[in-house]
Amino acid sequence: MLRRITLLLLLTAAIAAVAQTPSIIRLDPRFDQLVPKDTKLEVVATDIIWAEGPVWDKQGNYLLFSDAPRNSAFKWSAKEGKQLFLKPSGYTGTTEFTGREPGSNGLTFDAQHNLILCQHGDRRISRLAKDGKFITLADRYDGKRLNSPNDLTYKKNGDLYFTDPPYGLPKTFNDPARELPFAGVYRLSRDAKLTLLTDENKSPNGIAFSPDEKTLYVDDSENLLWRAYPVLPDGTLGKSRILFDATEMSKGMHGGPDGMKVDVHGNIWSAAPGGLFVIAPDGTLLGRFDLGAPTGNCAWGEDGSTLFIASNHNLYRVRLNTKGAGW
């Protein structure tokens, strides 16, 4: 079953790749300060079923990203191109996985440079040990299995925040194996305590902190919203406000809000309907990268002023006049 799904997705990828005509849409003068007028979108990797979860390895000077349908994670560098890095990346079971996305999704590194993965098929957050084995960090809340952790980010104090929509389950929202009746945003504290922070989003997806960590951004891919939460002194969240609503402008576009990153100025660079949005901290849409396809995530890399965009079947690179927060 998985092989048939993979072949179908590969055929769709080949057709879609021909139709994509990337462009840069400038909507606010502030965008020009971030994205030079002569900026080009460069495709650096292809032959991907669904590109997701990119993260730059500063020690190795390469990018890692997920291809969830292939249950794999890949490595890309300017010198060696794309290479298989990890398989399986998200589902380690022995029975056939019948869904579309068994592999890893969001990836990040902890303070000790361990790779931390959102694993769809295994329904957990895990750490990749030096011997190649996965160590479970979180897989249950209140005794019930998580849906399928999607994206994640560390706070400077070592607490891990992550989202848990059901997209990795074979039948997503209606999967009979689903144990939690909501999709949550969680904090896994340094002492391994898992706390539900909010369940107000139908499908929480991308997640990122503002540079001062006083605000946590979470988008809801089903409701086409980006929300901003004040981070309280104890690390929990206050009442949210809607930062941006893409309901009207996204009509006719493919995809929804997904993974995001923040630059040193506090601007949000987020996967969005049709490509990637750049949203100011005040909620203004400054501009967008129209990639003609649903887009999964992005990551800062190289010297910190390069953004890698994981969009559907391609991995893009674009050089900017800003840098990633904390770079």
**CA-to-CA separations, 211 to 141, 244, 290, 326, in angstroms, rounded:** 29, 19, 26, 7
DSSP-based three-state secondary structure for 88: coil
Q: Which residue, 24, 54, 53, 19, is CA-closest to 36?
A: 24
Cα separation, 111 vs 154, whole angstroms: 9
Task: Tell me the residue length of the chain.
Answer: 327
Residue with tokens 């969009």: 311
Q: Judge contact between 65 and 107, C-beta under 8 A.
A: yes
Sheet with 215-220, side-by-side order of all strands = 204-209, 215-220, 225-230, 241-245
Cα–Cα distance between 165 and 222 in angstroms, integer?
Answer: 10
The residue whose two tokens read 């009746």 is 181
Amino acid code (one letter) for 192: A
Whole-number Å distance between alpha carbons of 146 and 141: 6
Per-residue tokens: 237 = 């969240």
**Architecture label for domain 2-319:** 6 Propeller (2.120)
| Measured CA distances, 217 to 150, 197, 211, 238, 291 (Å) | 15, 13, 11, 12, 23
pTM listed for this prediction: 0.93
Taking only the tens of pLDDT, the chain with its 327 residues reads 444 444 444 444 444 444 458 999 999 999 999 999 999 999 999 999 999 999 999 999 999 999 999 999 999 999 999 999 999 999 999 999 999 999 999 999 999 999 999 999 999 999 999 999 999 999 999 999 999 999 999 999 999 999 999 999 999 999 999 999 999 999 999 999 999 999 999 999 999 999 999 999 999 999 999 999 999 999 999 999 999 999 998 888 999 999 999 999 999 999 999 999 999 999 999 999 999 999 999 999 999 999 999 999 999 999 999 999 999
CB-neighbour burial class of residue 323 (10 A; exposed 0-12, middle 13-18, buried 19+): middle
Cβ–Cβ < 8 Å for 224, 273: yes
DSSP label of 148: -
Q: How far is CA 122 from CA 20, 33, 149, 249, 256, in A?
A: 33, 43, 9, 36, 24
Residue type, 249: M
Residue 198 DSSP class:
E
Two tokens at 272? 């969005």
CA separation for the pair 188, 47 (Å, rounded)? 35
For residue 128, give every residue at least 6 positions away whose Cβ sits within 8 Å of its Cβ, in sequence order, or none.
86, 114, 115, 116, 117, 134, 135
